[in-house]
Amino acid sequence: MKAIAPRWSLLAGFLIGVPFLAMLGAAIAFAPILGGGGAALLVAAGAFVLLPVRMQGWLLLSYFLIFAGLFQLYLPAVNGLRWVAVVWGAALYLRVLLSGQGGSPRGYFYFVYFMLGLLGIVVGLIHGEDPRVIVRGTKNYLQLLPMLGILEVMFRTPDDVRKLLRFFLFFGLIQLPFVLHQYLFLVPMREGLWMYGVVPVDVIAGTFGADLRGAGRNATLGAFLVCLISVLFGLLRARMISGRLFAALLICYMIPLALNESKVSILLLAMVFFVNFSKDIAVKPVRFIIVASFAIAGGTAMLFSYASSYGKGATIEDTVSKTVTANFGDRGYAGKLLNRATAIDYWWEHNTNNAFDFLVGHGIGAAHEREGYLTGARSYAERKFKGVGIGLTAMSSVLWDFGVIGTGLVLSLFVVAAKRLLTPEKKNSDHARQNKHAYEVTVSIRPTVATSLAASCAAIGVMLLHNASFAVEQGYQILVVVMLFLATRLRADLVK
């Protein structure tokens, strides 16, 4: 497609900006609770028209990864900016489409998200769900989908993709100072919250956000750091980084991972280790044994670190026992009736007797238990299962919202992404020269790096069983979007 002339791009920006500003006025006039973000929304509307697409894309990427979480913890008064960023991203993506720069919504990943939205909306209407719950649920699940198209425009060439990977390696480094501050200053402030069932170290979430008096996104931080460690191993094995740089980065990533005490991180580390080095078991068993020994020692050290504060000095055996009981026993989790395992059993017990609900669920947003705090609407979970915790994890939320059909679609995102990364593809220079949109050509990467990224996909996917981040949390959702983008751009090189 031929790019539209700049003047038409600017005109498209103004055409989108008019309803954008109208929505701003309505938000300020009729929803005072969102008025705090009104001025910022106006600034975003101006930036939408004036700033280059790539610059705005970097601002949005930085906001979702860095500032959204920091604002939630350190400046909760401006937490409403997360709504601004979502609208801004959608408007920017629309501008990209109208200007003919690329990013068209085609391909399997877009299909999955569109089908989830369509399925959830139709089923919600059939069940008579409050339209406000449907709108909120659609926003929660699909809010960062426009970033997939924006990333496709921002990172067109192999050099661009390398810049993105370097950015994430740097992003991992900046977690360290924030984690140290949270560990040294915020955790002691929260010691008195034990009696309310709040774990003080949950606030150690780096830039992914936390509530000073409640839970934090420490598990998302842990999953992200595990993904970076996996990529580090892939780069080292491909001899793309030196041993010294690898050691320095590994230490900088392991310190926050040890301090934030997300116990699921140990499982994720073991998983990415096996995926990265599974071929060495038969080919290079000595190297596998050496690396495995270091991995076991590191995992044991993390367990000692976690046990030192989880339960205030409990032994490793006590920590493991409490963790297993909290996740697989009869006791509920985080004040809910259900825990991560029983939430799936509960869904099975209440939906297998109705084929329609079993297959397609109850509608988008049905399992979310905090709808009413902002819109006044009460979701299916709040009306029928308040306090039970049917939406405790993303897996249980997706099952209640979309049934087994929608759950299969969600799981396919991670399976297809990993498969595409591992699928070899020859470089096609002739096609790249003839194609006006060279960014549509996939980028070849070393097989070990492709394997490490596929392991990262698996780690992010496992988090569906741990918390509900896939359904609500922007920090986790942007990691999923970046993963899907990389799966569309990168392929394992045939040359090893």
φ, ψ of residue 443 in degrees (nearest 5): -105, 130
Among 269-273, 438-442, 473-477, which range has the highest average pLDDT? Answer: 473-477
> CA-CA distance, 123 to 115, in Å (whole number)?
12
φ, ψ of residue 214 in degrees (nearest 5): -145, -145
Q: Which of 426, 417, 421, 419 is nearest to 494 (CA)?
A: 426
Global confidence as pTM? 0.86
For the beta carbon of residue 222, count every other beta carbon within 10 angstroms.
28
Beta bridge partners of 216: 210
Question: Which of 64-68, 445-449, 477-481 shows the lowest mean pLDDT across its residues?
Answer: 445-449
For the beta carbon of residue 205, count every other beta carbon within 10 angstroms.
30
At CA 342, angle to CA 339 and CA 346, rounded to 5?
A: 125
Alpha-carbon torsion angle 221, 223, 228, 232, nearest 10: 140
Q: What percent of the chain has pLDDT over 70?
A: 80
Domains of the chain, by residue range, sit at: 1-101
* Average pLDDT of the chain to the nearest whole number: 82
Q: Is 391 helix (H, G, I), strand (E, B) or coil?
A: coil
Beta bridge partners of 302: none
- Sign of the four-CA dihedral 311, 315, 318, 324: positive
- pLDDT tens, residue by residue, 213-257: 888 899 999 999 999 999 999 999 899 999 999 999 999 999 999
Q: Are 368 and 137 in contact (CB under 8 A)?
A: yes
Please determine, for residue 426, whether its predicted confidence score (pLDDT) is greater than 60.
no
Residues 6+ apart with CB under 8 A from 317: none
If pLDDT is split at 50, 70 and 90, which confidence band does 102 have? confident
Q: What is the pLDDT of residue 439?
A: 41
Q: Average pLDDT for residues 311-334, to the nearest whole number?
A: 71
At CA 170, angle to CA 169 and CA 173, rounded to 5?
A: 95
Q: Average pLDDT for residues 33-49, to the nearest whole number?
A: 53
> CA-CA distance, 319 to 395, in Å (whole number)?
25
Percent of the chain that is helix, strand, coil (3-state, to 5) = 75, 0, 25
> CA-CA distance, 47 to 51, in Å (whole number)?
5
At CA 257, angle to CA 254 and CA 258, rounded to 5?
A: 85
Q: Longest C-alpha distance within the chain, in Å?
A: 69
Please determine, for residue 23, whether its predicted confidence score (pLDDT) is greater than 70.
no
Please determine, for residue 5, whether its predicted confidence score (pLDDT) is greater than 50.
no
Q: Is 185 helix (H, G, I), strand (E, B) or coil?
A: helix
Count Cα atoms within 13 angstroms, Cβ side, for 322. Answer: 15
Beta bridge partners of 443: 490
At CA 432, angle to CA 431 and CA 433, rounded to 5?
A: 90
Q: What is the pLDDT of residue 323?
A: 75
Q: Which two tokens stand for residue 29?
A: 């006039």
Q: Average pLDDT for residues 403-431, to the nearest whole number?
A: 83
Q: How far is CA 158 from CA 107, 161, 300, 444, 445, in A?
A: 20, 5, 39, 8, 10
